[in-house]
Structure 1
Amino acid sequence: MSRRGLLRGAVAGTGAVALPSLLTACGGGPGGDGKTVTLGSNSSDPVPKKAFADAFAAYGKQSEEGRKVKVNTVDHNTFQENINRYLQGTPDDVFMWFAGYRMQFFAQKGLLHDISDLWRDYKGFSEALKTQSTGADGKQYLTPYYYYPWAVFHRKSLFRKHGYTAPRTLDQYIALAKQMKKDDIVPIAFCDKDGWPAMGTFDYINMRSNGYAFHQRLMAGEEAWTDNRVKNVFDTWRSLLPYCQPGANGRTWQEAATSLQKRETGMAVFGLPHPGAQFPREDHDDLDFFAFPEIAPEHGQDAVEAPVDGFLLAGKSKSLKNDKTMESAKDLLRWLATGEAEDIYLASDPNNIAVSDQADISRYTPLQKKAVELVSGARQISQFLDRDTRPDFSSTVMVPAIQDFINNPKDVDGLVNGIERQKKTIFTADS
């Protein structure tokens, strides 16, 4: 299967926040040795943290110039919540971040270095990936590294024990949830303490109900949140809440994924890395997923959320003013853009999928191969709500709005009216 076709037609998208920075770069100033590159990492969970350590160690070993990477790892959510101030302060040379809008937002602010010169020599990336790595000015800023699809995850053994089958439609999904309740299992693991996990459920209900094109227009501020199509999304979601873990706004994604691992819950709407990171390696063969169910037959299960992550150069890094450090940072990105670099990472973290044609997919686990099939079979690829819209709209409006909905799902009219008022203010601020 060609890696080049997997992300064809994928959409650029992002989101970001602007809270007081808790991040502290570990880099030095212009007087550094020129061979040490500092890197800001949001991969604080054990599995990806080790995988990146393996990749960076391999980079150091192959560097004939003695270059190395010094990593500054920060809790994932803290990193996301403070990224804006971090990049405007004293950031590391290189940092991990997301494709699309979330990258474009910082490029437009002048907080990233142009790496178009590197892209001229990159091999193995599709045009869709290049588009997602490109700013509004037509220049490239991101080196993509992996992607991961969102789906409904479950344990094979739990389904086998109770004779459950993967549902294809919403009615079948609800029927399965009802049966799980009869079997004393909380049907759906649910969390939103971190402010983003529940966005995946909203996106899927919206795309399944109204189609991918409507999702794009809604995220771009071109559709009204007071539209009956949006109200129907929240009404449909409300019908699922009785089958979800209560108290979602006080639960982290790690806690929700652990409940799935412990068989306390039967299903969970997550990205591939989330349950994978909380399942011991010996349990990975028991992890499975199915595509989010069909709601409207005309839209089927056409759209799949598959966010892309990668690496960028921080525009305000003091040490990148040193030409030798800049060349070292670019050398690191050149290496991270190779199939070899992705193979080393994925050997320790089978919870993601390589973006390069040159990566060795023959070593993929059955779950990774199924994820490749899910994405390659999709007619449309979305990124995620907080990557597909303006960062200020995502962080200041949609995070609290969805949490408010979870707390009070009955007042849909009040909810969408509030979102629409704020949307108009934000989306017309720059016009």
Structure 2
Amino acid sequence: MDQPSPISRRNLLLGAAAFGVPAVLTGCGSDAPSPGGGGGDLGTVTIGSNASDEIPKKTLEAVVKGFTQATTRINTVDHNTFQENINRYLRGTPEDVFTWFAGYRMQFFAQQGLAVDISDVWQEIGADYTQAFKDQSTGVDGKQYFVPFTYYPWAVFYRKSVWEERGYEPPATLDELTALCRKMKSDGLIPIAFADKDGWPAMGTFDILNMRINGYDFHISLMGGKESWTDPRVKQVFDTWRGLMEFHQPAALGRTWQEAGQSLAQKKTGMYLLGMFVAQQFPEADRDDLDFFTFPEINPAYGTDSIDAPIDGYMISAKAKNVEGAKALLKHFAQASSQNIATKMDPGTLAASSKADTSGYSPLQKRGAELVSKAKHIAQFLDRDTRPDFASTVMIPSLQTFIDKPNEIDSLLAGIEQQKANIFR
């Protein structure tokens, strides 16, 4: 499978884990399909949504209420369940529109014939997006299958009040980060909040360490199956990670990202490498106390030139019963006014439309947009930059094994390489 076009600062002004589980999504969610929008001339449009957390769920409902051309019904499913069952879902009886991810993940389903070509939609909405967003919405056949809605950068988040009180400063190098962790530990804080119960959060740590140590090009090549996992460069990533493990929140495999985020909000941990959506776990009154820095430099050859900044949006399933209504809904999602609602309600997101109003962004959102605009390279995230079967069946269990037994790196990487060779043929 071809890789999506790499995004760099030159073309971007400004991305979970498993497939093929034998179950369908309809009926999996805790909520029955719920009405929304207005009853227009285009009948009923159904939406399969992974926006199961409170803020994203309310945000989608609010955006859909502004769609008056059809009646909409949303089937909300637990986020991880949605990802784990998406392949069978799309081959079964999917809703018309479904939430999904840009880039490789979009391309995979387009190549499988499981998504509708929406190039005609892009004829109308294309002027509202940069070329980079269009590239990340385009299949290997040159057609568009995805409408970007929001995106968010990954960085190291912390509470300003805690850092000011303790005199902490954002580290610029790995040595400074290690020294900061030691200071936090001596001050009675767990330095780095960490969770991997759901399988995907640790991918962000791997991504940033690999890009900091080996650069963006090597990272994307590794994700594409073109590099060996037994390469000394990959081992260095895990060695570096192992050196930081003593500063990570313990028992990570039994903790969700939400719980780790709450530990940061409760001032029990000092910092947290995650997407900006961590802001959802902060009470509204405390969100102005949330700040971040980009993960520090490790290899001066690459500095801090790369970050993860995944793009979320919507696609139309190939088995959609109301394609006309679904396309109208995607045009609604593409409108700047719709994305303005989303970024106002959800403090952890940024609008994908270049025409969105950013004047109402919170200080955190403004800083997030600035971080992405300054990055030379933007990755979509490990499980979005590689084959879905490799991400789910190999990388999730492998990273969880590493977290559980960080001293057995050689055998771990040999196992990953062997499985990779069987998948990337």
CA distance in 2, matches of 1:15, 1:407: 19
Q: Which of 51, 55, 58 is the equivalent residue of 1:47?
A: 55
Is 1:309 equivalent to 2:312 in the alignment?
A: yes
In the TM superposition, residue 53 of structure 1 has moved relative to its aligned partner by 1.0
Q: Which of 16, 19, 23 is the equivalent residue of 1:17?
A: 19
1:252 maps to a residue whose letter is T
Q: Which of 188, 192, 198 is the equivalent residue of 1:194?
A: 198
Equivalent residue number for residue 218 of structure 1: 222
Q: Which of 257, 275, 285 is the equivalent residue of 1:253?
A: 257
1:71 maps to a residue whose letter is I
Report if the CA contact (8 A) 2:152-2:275 is conserved. Answer: yes
Report if the CA contact (8 A) 2:9-2:376 is conserved. Answer: no
Is 1:81 equivalent to 2:89 in the alignment?
A: no
Q: Which of 154, 167, 170 is the equivalent residue of 2:171?
A: 167
CA distances 1:361-409 after superposition (whole Å, capped 9, x unpaired): 0000000000011000001110100011111111110000000000111
1:299 maps to a residue whose letter is Y
In the TM superposition, residue 6 of structure 1 has moved relative to its aligned partner by 8.7
Equivalent residue number for residue 176 of structure 1: 180
Report if the CA contact (8 A) 1:158-1:263 is conserved. Answer: yes
Provide the aligned C-alpha RMSD in A: 1.8
The ranges of structure 1 where at least 4 consecutive aligned residues each deviate by more than 6 angstroms after the TM superposition are none
Equivalent residue number for residue 418 of structure 1: 415
2:62 maps to a residue whose letter is D
Equivalent residue number for residue 322 of structure 1: none
In the TM superposition, residue 15 of structure 1 has moved relative to its aligned partner by 6.1
Report if the CA contact (8 A) 1:147-1:352 is conserved. Answer: yes
Report if the CA contact (8 A) 1:114-1:141 is conserved. Answer: yes
Report if the CA contact (8 A) 1:16-1:102 is conserved. Answer: no
Scaled by the length of structure 1, what TM-score is found?
0.91
CA distance in 2, matches of 1:8, 1:359: 21
Cα gap change, 1:346 to 1:68, in 2 (>3 Å)? farther
CA distance in 2, matches of 1:400, 1:95: 27
Report if the CA contact (8 A) 2:44-2:72 is conserved. Answer: yes
Q: Which of 273, 279, 283 is the equivalent residue of 1:269?
A: 273
Does the residue aligned with 1:386 lie in a helix, a strand or coil? helix
Q: Which of 36, 49, 57 is the equivalent residue of 2:44?
A: 36
Report if the CA contact (8 A) 2:100-2:315 is conserved. Answer: yes
Report if the CA contact (8 A) 2:262-2:281 is conserved. Answer: yes
CA distance in 1, matches of 2:305, 2:341: 32
Cα gap change, 1:287 to 1:159, in 2 (>3 Å)? same
CA distance in 2, matches of 1:249, 1:124: 41
CA distance in 2, matches of 1:375, 1:16: 27
CA distance in 1, matches of 2:24, 2:325: 27
In the TM superposition, residue 350 of structure 1 has moved relative to its aligned partner by 2.1
Equivalent residue number for residue 352 of structure 2: 355
Is 1:129 equivalent to 2:133 in the alignment?
A: yes
Unaligned runs of 5+ in 1: 28-32, 320-324
Does the residue aligned with 1:53 lie in a helix, a strand or coil? helix
Is 1:401 equivalent to 2:401 in the alignment?
A: no
- Structure 1 segment 203-214 matched on structure 2, within 5 A: 203-214=207-218
CA distance in 2, matches of 1:413, 1:143: 41
CA distance in 2, matches of 1:362, 1:114: 34
Does the residue aligned with 2:128 lie in a helix, a strand or coil? coil
Report if the CA contact (8 A) 1:14-1:99 is conserved. Answer: no
Equivalent residue number for residue 4 of structure 2: none
In the TM superposition, residue 20 of structure 1 has moved relative to its aligned partner by 2.1
Identity value in percent: 56
CA distances 1:134-191 after superposition (whole Å, capped 9, x unpaired): 1111110001001100000110111011111111111111111100100110000111
